[in-house]
Every structure is written in C-alpha cells, then in structure tokens.
C-alpha cells in the first residue's frame, strides 16, 4: 500500500489506518494475495468491511521468476489489489501479493564489477566501524530500502517484517487510525508521485472514510496536512507521515490542516478501529432509481453488490446509480466482477508489464444487468481511485454507463508484494492497467461525461452530482449523455 499522490490510507496508500482486514484488490493497496498454482484464488474474506481479507504472511518466501520465460497475465500470478490506501498504505496502488520462483540468485557474474563497491562498503563497515556494534540485519534492510527508494516510485517500497505484517492487517479491511485516505499533490494542486514532503510535495486528504473519526472531527477532502501533533511534515516521507497519523484506538492525534486560502487550524482526532461498510443501497425518485454505493473492493463487496443488484432487478428496477465517490480501490478481481454485471463480454481492462506486453482481462460473462434496457450512471470524484477507476473506465469505454461528477484521482499502476526470506517484503510496481480502449489514466483520471462541480462548502443534504444523475435517469427518453446505443 497507500500511495504518493495517490492516496494511502492513513490507517493503513497514504490515507488509511489499520482496521479490519479488507478483501483483495489489484491485486490490495493495496494488492494482495497470492494465487496458488494454476491461478489466483480469492482469499477468504473475514467480513463485509472493505479490504477485509484474512491475509497471512506466507510461511516460506517466494522468489520472483527470472525474466525470459513465458509470462501469463498478472491475474494468473496473483490476486491483484488495486487500492488506494484505504485501510492501510494501499491508496493509489494496485497490488498483488505474488509468488517468487525457485531461483535465489547471488551476484550475477556480469554484474560483479558494479556490485563491488557495495560489497566493499559492507565489508568495511562490518570490520572497521568504531561507533558501536553493527546490526547486520539493519544494515542489510537499509541497503534494500535504499535500492527501492532510488526508483523514485511512491508505490514501490521495502517493508520490514513488522511493516509487512501491519500491511497485511491493513489489507484485511480493519485498521486503527483516523480513517482517511491521504496522498500527495504538487504546489499547483496536481497529483504528484513525490515521496518527500515539502513546498512542492504536499500531504493532502483525498477522502475521509464514511463515518470515520476523521469525518466526525471535520476533516474534509482536499485538506492539506501541514503538521502532525505540532511537528511540521516537511522533510518526512509519505509513509513516515502516515505512520505518525496512525495509532491505537482511543489515542488522539492533532492534525494541522490548511483549507483553501483560510489560515491553518488544528483538528483533534481520536483514533479508532476503522471498519467500512462497502455496499450501501437505497431507492431514489420514488422507487424509480436503484442507488448502490460501493466504498471498497473486496471480494465480499462484489458478492454483496451482486445480491443488491439482483434484488433491485427482481423488484422491477431498470435505472441505476453506481456511486464510486471516495472509493480508494481494492481487489482487481472485485472490480472485474462488478463491471461484469453490466458488460456482457469483451475487455474490462488491460495489463501492460515491464516489457510492454499487454494482457486482456474480459468480462466474466455472468452479468445480470447487461441488457441495453438497463440504464446506468456512475458517480466519481477526485477520491475515486484504482479499482474504482477500472470499473468507471470499463463502463465508460464500453458505452454501458454515463459517468457523472468530478475527474477521478488517476492511479493506473499495479504493485506486487513479494515476501522475502526474513519475513520482510518488497512492494514493487510491476504493471500498468489500461481501460478497454487502452487509455492509461495515471495522473489523468477518468474524465466524466457530465462534469458536476462540487461546492467548496456544500450545505447538508445537498448533492449536486447525485441530483444530476437522478435527473438524467428520470428525464431521459433515449440514450444518456456519453452512451451510444449498441447495434442489435
């Protein structure tokens, strides 16, 4: 998990706290789990909460296969978790917890000269450092961390055993913290991949989770966090700032936030165990419109979404609103399942690996709302990321829905979590994901067909985007904006 600009759950990519174990994603923030031989198998989910998937640290390390052999789609390697730090450090990341191959390479013969300075430094420190005893384990961990940090990728990281265990807990969907997705933006307010906070790398709240301590305390999406417990965040990394925001249930953290042009102010938040309800449904327009909000993408969320959609269809509803606002992501498998409810066949998204090879992930063919007679509007905002963008992008490109709201966050990469022999892990960006039309939305986002600006300080019960969606569905006589009729 998050994330740099892409949020991470403070409780957990850049905006989350540790809470109940969430179900997978790109395979979770957030990425997540590990497929057995023969293909990824969904991890068991412990609860309906987002990111709740009882993940366990694999008893034995996995080794990444050497390049050169045939490589199947990422989904064949692991369950992908595309999450945006929504329960851990997952935000803005697609994740998958992968397997490693059988080889454990040493220093390659062709790289011995390049590695010599490394070994010389290590040997010299061990033999000659006079400032105290040398912790060899810490020395090695520091070297690995330095390698990963040199990539300059906010979504790749080295995790110590403790951090890895915490990350697994975060991915479960349950975590202790304030319940807010956080990310980074540059001085102009644009999404950024920066890792060290400063004037041109600002820590921002992407979205407080519904009902969380952050929301109750008055934290809003877009708030810039300038200090934590009175200490400025400048100079900290995104991960270290997230760790300072996290904490045990019942403890307090004071966030100094800047909102627009107003003076900065301190907001006290009491941490708690964060458990998100991933599927929320209600009837709108006198029962004409079925509204289903999805706040996270665990496999359990996909099942609950299917059940709710099926109930609405049996009740005779043919007009739906799928609300993905503030949803930081989750398992790619769940995103595929939900998008497949409305798309009969063909691509949901593409995965492009480091060699440029692209693999297509198609609809499951088991959707229950694929008929053109079923009208759909998808709501997104700047807090919709990763798996949310996979679903919105698929439905938009495949002409199955009209997208309404604000341009989404813009996270188009997938991370794999690779367990190492000592219990630590490497989280590495290993792929891009593309929409069905092969658009890469990283740092761009899903642009809505019908833009709806959100007021800076909306009045209670005022929701312009939702109102517009209801209006379009109840007044439309033909195709909705952005949706073309498909040939029979």
- Close Cβ partners of 401 (under 8 Å, ≥ 6 residues apart): 322, 342, 376, 377, 378, 392, 395, 480, 483
Task: Give the closest residue to 415 by CA, choosing from 379, 396, 442.
Answer: 442
Distance CA 43, CA 50 (A): 13
Q: Are 278 and 25 in contact (CB under 8 A)?
A: no
Q: Which of left, alpha, beta for 211 (phi over 0: left; psi -120 to 50: alpha)?
A: left
H or E stretch including 175? strand 173-177
Q: Is 386 a catalytic residue?
A: yes
- Residue 482 near residue 450, CB atoms below 8 Å: yes
Calculate ∠ Cα 431-437-441, nearest 5°: 50
Catalytic option among 304, 319, 411, 427: 411
From 52, 169, 415, 416, active-site residue: 415
Catalytic entry in 337, 386, 388, 424: 386
* 90 in Cβ contact with 20 (< 8 Å): no
3 state SS of 419: strand
Distance CA 186, CA 323 (A): 28
Active site residue 277: no
| Cβ atoms of 259 and 202 closer than 8 Å | no
Instruction: State both tokens at 367.
Output: 């959707």
Count of CA atoms in the C-beta half-sphere (13 A) of 340: 20
Distance, in Å, from the CA atom of 294 to the CA atom of 324, rounded to the nearest integer, reads 6
Length of the chain in terms of residues written: 488
Residue 411 a catalytic site member: yes
Q: What is the DSSP string of 355-406?
A: T--EEEEE--S--S--STTSEEEEEE-TT--THHHHHHHHHHHTTS-EEEES
Give the catalytic positions in this structure: 386, 411, 415
């Amino acid at each position: 998990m998050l994330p740099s600009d892409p949020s991470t759950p403070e409780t957990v990519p850049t905006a989350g706290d540790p809470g109940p174990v969430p179900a997978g994603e790109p395979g979770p923030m957030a990425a997540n789990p590990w497929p057995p031989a023969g293909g990824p198998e969904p991890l068991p989910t412990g609860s309906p909460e987002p990111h709740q998937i009882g993940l366990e640290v694999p008893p034995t390390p996995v080794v990444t296969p050497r390049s050169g052999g045939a490589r199947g789609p990422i989904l064949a390697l692991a369950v992908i978790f595309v999450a945006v730090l929504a329960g851990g450090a997952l935000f803005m990341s697609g994740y998958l917890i992968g397997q490693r191959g059988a080889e454990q390479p040493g220093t390659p013969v062709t790289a011995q000269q390049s590695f010599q300075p490394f070994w010389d430094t290590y040997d010299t420190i061990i033999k000659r450092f006079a400032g105290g005893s040398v912790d060899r384990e810490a020395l090695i961990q520091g070297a690995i961390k330095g390698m990963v940090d040199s990539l300059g990728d906010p979504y790749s990281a080295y995790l110590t055993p403790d951090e890895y265990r915490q990350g697994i807990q975060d991915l479960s969907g349950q975590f202790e913290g304030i319940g807010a997705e956080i990310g980074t933006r540059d001085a102009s307010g644009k999404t950024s991949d920066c890792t060290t906070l400063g004037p041109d790398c600002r820590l921002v709240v992407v979205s407080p989770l519904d009902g969380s301590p952050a929301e109750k305390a008055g934290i809003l999406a877009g708030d810039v966090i300038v200090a934590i417990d009175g200490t400025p965040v400048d100079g900290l990394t995104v991960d270290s700032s997230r760790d300072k925001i996290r904490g045990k249930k019942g403890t307090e953290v004071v966030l100094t936030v800047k909102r627009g042009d107003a003076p900065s102010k301190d907001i006290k938040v009491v941490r708690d165990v964060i458990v998100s309800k991933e599927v929320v449904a209600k009837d709108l327009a006198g029962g004409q419109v079925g509204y289903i909000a999805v706040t996270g993408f665990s496999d359990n969320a996909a099942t609950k979404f299917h059940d709710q959609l099926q109930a609405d269809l049996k009740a005779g509803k043919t007009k739906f609103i799928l609300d993905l606002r503030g949803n930081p992501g989750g398992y790619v498998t769940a995103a595929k399942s939900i998008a497949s409810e409305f798309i009969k066949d063909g691509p949901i998204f593409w995965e492009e690996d480091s060699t440029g090879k692209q693999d297509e992930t198609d609809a499951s063919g088991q959707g229950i709302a694929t008929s053109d007679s079923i009208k759909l509007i998808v709501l997104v905002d700047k807090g919709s990321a990763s798996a949310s963008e996979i679903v919105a992008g698929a439905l938009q490109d495949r002409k199955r829905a009209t997208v309404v709201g604000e341009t989404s966050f813009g996270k188009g990469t997938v991370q794999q979590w690779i367990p190492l022999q000592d219990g630590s892990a490497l989280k590495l960006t290993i792929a891009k994901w593309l929409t069905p039309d092969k658009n890469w939305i990283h740092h761009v986002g899903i642009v809505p067909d019908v833009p709806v600006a959100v007021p800076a300080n909306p009045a209670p019960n005022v929701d312009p985007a939702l109102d517009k969606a209801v209006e379009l569905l109840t007044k439309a006589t033909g195709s909705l904006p952005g949706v073309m009729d498909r040939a029979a």
